[in-house]
Amino acid sequence: MNTNENNVAEDVPSDSDLPRIEYRGHVLDRFQTEAIQALQQGHSVLVCAPTGTGKTMVADWLVEDALARGQEVIYTAPVKALSNQKFRDYCRLLGEERVGLVTGDLVIRRDAPCRVMTTEILRNMLLTGEELPELAAVIVDEIHFLDDKERGTTWEEVLIYLPSRVRIVGLSATLSNVQPFSRWLSDVRGHPVTVVEEYRRAVPLTFRVASREGGLRTPDDMKRFYKTWAKRNSRKLRMVAEQKRAQGRFKRGRRQPRVGAPTRHVDVFDLLFPEQAPYLYFVFSRRDTEGMARSLVRQLNRPLLDEDEQEQVRAHLDAFVESDETAASALDGELAHLYLAGVGFHHAGLHVHLKALVETLYEKKLIKVLYCTGTFALGINMPARTAVFDGLERFDGRGMIPLPAREFMQMAGRAGRRGLDAEGLVVTRCGIDDWPDIEARLERYLTGRTEPVHSRFGLSFNSVVNLLDRHEPDRVRDIVEKSFLAFHRRNKAERDLERADDLARQLVAQGWIDGRKPPKSLRSDVRGLHRLRERAEVAPDQTWAEFEERVFFLQAWGYLDEERGFNAGAKALQHVQINEIFVVEAFLQGIFDELDDETLYGVCCGMCTELPRSARTRVPRRDRGLIKQLDRLKESDIVIDAERLTGLRTQWDGQLIPFGRAWARGASLQELMDMVDANTDISGDLVGAFRRARDLVGQLRSLYSHDPERAASLDALSKTVRRDEVEVVG
């Protein structure tokens, strides 16, 4: 749907009404043409289309157009893997000399006219006042990440801080409340924002349910099959229901009584292979991705690859082993056997080199079955013939929750390869006993409606002090009240006032007089009227009040003085963005001062990441006192108050100190893996810790600018810990 600057819906033009636009040898689709026309008119654009339909063609056209005009463009992405992929794509498309990459880990050609970067990097550039005079546009891939609980604020800050002359191209497959979002964005940007929507997939999806009893069935067919099965097994089902009631609630992990046979992942394989391969099998546990992949290979009678494909895999494995000693140590005989069988697994904790190898083998069609977590579906262009869901629940850090519709559609969207498949197949594994629960969830998913994007705006303390430092109070308030959260609250207040007015008219018609005690029959409605009015009165200023709460917190703890002048704490906060209050308090208390550089790096690792609960390691005696000191700091009143105010949990895991120290001293990743007992590969977690810890070292270096000797040693430390194993781009 195309929408003008006032967001009044217009008729969608037919393809015959639009000019033919050719780009890279393709005649563009209707929605791509609409988006490019809007960009030519100087509008910002929100492109909402299913995965695989070609949203990024719009972004690519804009990049080439801006560069042809001598302007600059920035492409932002939520994850480094997607940033790295776009960097490689643009290097091929535009030439390496015109493309840069800035991700925190790597800075390549930072002054190139086309720069690919993570959203946090761009936000930091804008917040610190970096001038971008030639910047014409910013592409925000996966713009619905504005809804992310931990990182969403960054997306809003970028959209607010960018100069109004800069156009935005927002890309999303799952932005359901696009109209209110576009109205807010138009208000913030100060120029028209055109919405372009495409509902048709290039490769349509079909949905099936896989059960051991019923085989592969459509949801409607499964519904009929289950009714027949339940009728046939009614007596057993009643007995099981009574048994469950008698036993009460089962403890997690305890086997529950069943009537039907459980459907295993190997049953799904038997139903799908070879006609529906290659397929992605989405699992919501790292351990299960590895366990299922190995289990499948053990039960295969023969490899899934022919001899020629196996030779290609051997060539890739040989090149991998020869690439460097570290890569070679990550590949054991069991993994090689797995890949030669055409089976793999992929999750965030996987060794960075193995992750790259698996992605390469998959791209080359040499992995036919890939067990993976949901991170594989995020942005990276890795389609499959079929996408399989092992279940429709996932762990959210506290407990099991239903899989959000947005995540389901993101993963399901990987099914169907353009130009290869007439349709993409989406399969849900289902034990026959579980069908009643799965049926309700599937019905919701199949409507195609995803959860609306909500604002997660909650300025960090780093943002608060930098805004106070750079702007006058009126300008700070203007920035805060431009947030999507404030926009939503103002709109809700208007709706509440309208409802209150309607209710008041109804009450007056029934004899109520404002200011007088209402008759008993109307008291409940009058109380509701007062609540609506109170809510509408408070809501417009609520976002600013929350900003002021953060200011009062900083004043109460002495970071700011009564006049909002900067004391040592606020000056330190200007440079710290990771675990802000915890890190700044450690600095102010001199905890970092007494540490050698290697131990300091270990502490930084523990302040950035926590090992999985299943991982076990021995903490050296020398670190126990330091860990207790930082444990006490984590439980101090100021840190707990900051957590309560922001809703963000402080990260701290003292077990990581020896890992960081060893890495800073040159130990290999394989040597570090020998220091831990874990039931899955956690090398990816360690790599993530090393990357973020290096970022934190850079922030601490700014705190020691008054101490040239310590600043120089931290510079050297930052270079020492930047090693090939954590700097993979290709």
Residue 20: predicted pLDDT? 77
What's the average model confidence in pLDDT over 208-217? 96
Inter-residue contact 145 to 158 (CB < 8 Å)? no
The residues pairing with 560 across neighbouring beta strands, listed in sequence order, are: 566
The residues pairing with 168 across neighbouring beta strands, listed in sequence order, are: 138
Selected residue with higher pLDDT from 394 and 371: 371
Decide if pLDDT at 11 tops 50.
no
* C-alpha of 494 from chain center: 32
Task: Classify residue 39 by burial, with Cβ atoms within 10 Å: 0-12, 13-18, 19+.
Answer: buried
**How many Cα atoms occupy the beta-carbon half-sphere of 229 within 13 Å?**
19
Residue 350: predicted pLDDT? 82
Residue 253: predicted pLDDT? 45
Name the residue type at position 679: N
Of the listed ranges 30-34, 373-377, 425-429, the least confidently predicted one is 373-377
- What is the spatial distance between Cα 130 and Cα 553, in angstroms, rounded to a whole number? 28
Selected residue with higher pLDDT from 629 and 256: 629
State the distance between the two ends of the chain, measured CA to CA, in whole angstroms. 37
Residue 261: predicted pLDDT? 86
- What is the spatial distance between Cα 21 and Cα 27, in angstroms, rounded to a whole number? 6
Q: Beta 424-429 vs 205-211: how paired, if at all?
A: parallel
- Summarised one tens digit per residue, pLDDT across range 400-414 is 788 999 889 889 989
- Provide the token pair at 44: 């910002």
What's the average model confidence in pLDDT over 529-542? 92
pLDDT band with cut points at 50, 70 and 90 for residue 379:
low
- Summarised one tens digit per residue, pLDDT across range 290-335 is 999 999 999 999 999 999 999 999 999 999 988 767 667 778 889 9
- What is the spatial distance between Cα 33 and Cα 58, in angstroms, rounded to a whole number? 8
**How many Cα atoms occupy the beta-carbon half-sphere of 345 within 13 Å?**
27
pLDDT mean across residues, the chain: 89
Report H helices in 193-305. Answer: 219-232, 234-247, 265-272, 286-299
Selected residue with higher pLDDT from 129 and 570: 570
Decide if pLDDT at 91 tops 80.
yes
What's the average model confidence in pLDDT over 240-251? 66
- What is the spatial distance between Cα 375 and Cα 429, in angstroms, rounded to a whole number? 20
**Cis peptide upstream of residue 274 (ω within 30 degrees of 0):** yes
Of the listed ranges 16-20, 439-443, 497-501, 605-609, the least confidently predicted one is 16-20
pLDDT band with cut points at 50, 70 and 90 for residue 448:
confident
Largest CA distance in the chain: 89
> How far, in Å, are 60, 83, 95, 97, 505 from residue 109 at the CA level?
19, 14, 12, 8, 65
- Summarised one tens digit per residue, pLDDT across range 345-354 is 998 778 778 8
Residue 727: predicted pLDDT? 53
> How far, in Å, are 292, 350, 542, 579, 642 from residue 683 at the CA level?
19, 6, 43, 23, 31
- What is the spatial distance between Cα 130 and Cα 121, in angstroms, rounded to a whole number? 11
pLDDT band with cut points at 50, 70 and 90 for residue 377:
low
- Provide the token pair at 657: 């100190």
- Summarised one tens digit per residue, pLDDT across range 261-299 is 899 999 999 999 999 999 999 998 888 999 999 999 999
- Summarised one tens digit per residue, pLDDT across range 12-29 is 445 556 677 888 888 888
Residue 199: predicted pLDDT? 86
H-helix or E-strand containing 630? Answer: helix 621-634
Buried b (16+ CB within 10 A) or exposed e, 505-530: eebeeeebeeeeebeeebeeebeebe
- What is the spatial distance between Cα 279 and Cα 668, in angstroms, rounded to a whole number? 34
pLDDT band with cut points at 50, 70 and 90 for residue 105:
low
Inter-residue contact 341 to 329 (CB < 8 Å)? no
Residue 490: predicted pLDDT? 94
